[in-house]
Amino acid sequence: SAQVIHPSKLKSPYTQEQVAAVKKDVEAILKNKDYDDGSIGPVLVRLAWHSSGTYCAETKTGGSNGAGMRYEKEGGDPANAGLQHARVFLEPIKEKHSWITYADLWTLAGVVAIKAMGGPEIEWYPGRTDFVDDARVPPRGRLPDAAQAQDHLRAIFYRMGFNDQEIVALSGAHNLGRCHADRSGFEGPWVNNPTRFSNQYYKMLIKLKWEKKHLGREAQGAHWQWIARLPHMDEEDEPLMMLPTDMSLTLDDKFKPWVEKYAEDQDLFFKDFAAVFGKLIELGVTRDESGLAQHDGKAGEYKSA
Ligand code: ZEM
């Protein structure tokens, strides 16, 4: 495949001051006492992930370039339910800084949110365009189905080009935010401080005694989930939750050692998460010498600097 230059060495379509101004404006809207647990950060992270996670390495389709979620074909995928909130929150920033593309804004907002919630610094490079090539819009069904198990996770994430360790590291994003009955059919947060990035998710997976709770939302694919309470929680308190896919990480000989490592070593988790999230938001973003991403999927893939 063609020799492709690492994006850090390419011309940026924006100045450093422009990028800094957008980052500052994203930071300023994160805290929101009327929304969920007081932050829009988690749903911004999910927006960055879902815009990238449609990538297929074999056909070089999908990924964040093009911001296809603006249109019904991708935005209306039931897997993307609820992400319109994230996009609406970012709209005033797009209006103020109209030079930034949606595709760049959505991925940058996720990176800013992770850092602001106490997570690691993640490398982000500009150059995504908002050009949507109809022939390359990914079909629905490319994002993971939470009701399934480890074989499904492997099928979905291997398609993007990730390995077992990277699957477990990426799953640590479930330290953030919650499930909403009206979006996915599942409900509740994974940890008791869901707006603070940490390795709690892995600790909870290993340490708590999880029980199956029947949900009965078959139409949404949400038959049941796992629930557990911390020792200080009352019966009336909202329990913590795990999706069937989350729990499958502890039921697999290759995944489980990584769950244990990340539960014990937050620094290792932060380092690995930063690398893998950086890789996620670059999927399918292949720039030419102008620094702008191509949309024909024909460019090679850059190797890490
Ligand atoms: Zn999630 N995720 N995810 N995820 N996710 C939800 C919420 C969030 C899966 C999944 O089905 C769900 C990754 C991987 C996987 C976030 C980030 C990342 C929800 C709840 C579901 C059902 C949606 C709702 O009801 O609002 C599955 C099966 C995954 C396979 C491993 C990866 C990778 C992520 C980023 C790196 C985040 C931040 C949320 C919380 C969103 C919010 O609104 O609070």
Percent of the chain with pLDDT over 90: 87
52 CB within 6 A, ligand 1: no
Q: Measure the CA–CA gap between 140 and 197, rounded to whole angstroms.
A: 30
- Nearest Cα to Cα of residue 241 among 301, 186, 169: 186
Q: What residues does 39 pair with on adjacent strands? A: 31
For the record, the structure tokens of 41 come out as 């950060």
DSSP 213: E
pLDDT at 184 over 80: yes
Q: What is the pLDDT of residue 65?
A: 95
In 3D space, the residue among 124, 287, 100, 103 whose CA is nearest the CA of residue 297 turns out to be 287
Nearest residue by C-alpha to atom 30 in ligand 1: 144
Amino acid letter, 83 = L
**Predicted local distance difference test score (pLDDT) of residue 304:** 34
Q: Which of 49, 106, 124, 190 is catalytic?
A: 190
> Tokens in use for 293?
């991403």
Hey, what amino acid is at 237?
D
Is residue 97 among the annotated active site residues? Answer: no
Name the burial class of residue 203, with classes exposed (0-12), middle (13-18) and buried (19+) by CB atoms within 10 angstroms of its CB.
middle
Q: Which residue CA neighbors atom 28 of ligand 1 most closely?
A: 146
Which residues, 6 or more positions from 261, have their beta carbon under 8 angstroms from its beta carbon? 268, 269
How many C-beta atoms surround the C-beta of residue 28 within 10 A? Answer: 10
Beta strands in 177-255 (DSSP E): 178-179, 188-189, 211-217, 222-228, 240-242
Long-range contacts of 9-16 (CB under 8 A, 24+ apart): 9/305, 10/125, 10/127, 10/287, 10/289, 10/291, 11/289, 11/290, 11/291, 12/125, 12/126, 12/127, 12/291, 13/126, 13/127, 13/291, 13/292, 14/99, 14/100, 14/104, 14/126
Q: For residue 304, how far is its CA from the centre of ligand 1 (angstroms)?
A: 26
For residues 109 and 90, the answer to whether their CB atoms sit within 8 Å is yes
Question: Is the model's pLDDT at 244 over the cut of 80?
Answer: yes
C-alpha to C-alpha distance for 34 and 29, rounded to whole angstroms: 12
Q: Which residue has the tokens 């940058």?
A: 108
What's the whole-model pTM score?
Answer: 0.96
Among 74-78, 106-110, 235-239, 296-300, the minimum mean pLDDT is found in 296-300
Q: Which atom of ligand 1 is nearest to the CA of 187?
A: 25
- In this structure, are residues 174 and 46 in contact, taking their beta carbons and an 8 Å threshold? no
Q: 179 CB less than 6 Å from ligand 1? A: yes
Number of residues assigned to the chain: 305
Selection from 84, 99, 10 nearest residue 282 by Cα: 10
What is the band of 136 on the pLDDT scale with cuts at 50, 70, 90? confident
For 80-220, strand residue ranges (E) read 178-179, 188-189, 211-217
Distance CA 30, CA 53 (A): 23
Confidence of residue 219 (pLDDT cuts 50, 70, 90): confident
Domains of the chain, start order = 7-143 (1.10.520.10), 150-269 (1.10.420.10)
Poorest-pLDDT segment among 50-54, 229-233, 239-243: 229-233
Give 46 Cα–ligand 1 centroid separation in angstroms.
6
What is the CA(79)–ligand 1 centre distance, in A? Answer: 10
**Does residue 301 carry a pLDDT above 60?**
no
pLDDT in tens, 73-114: 999 999 999 999 999 999 999 999 999 999 999 999 999 999
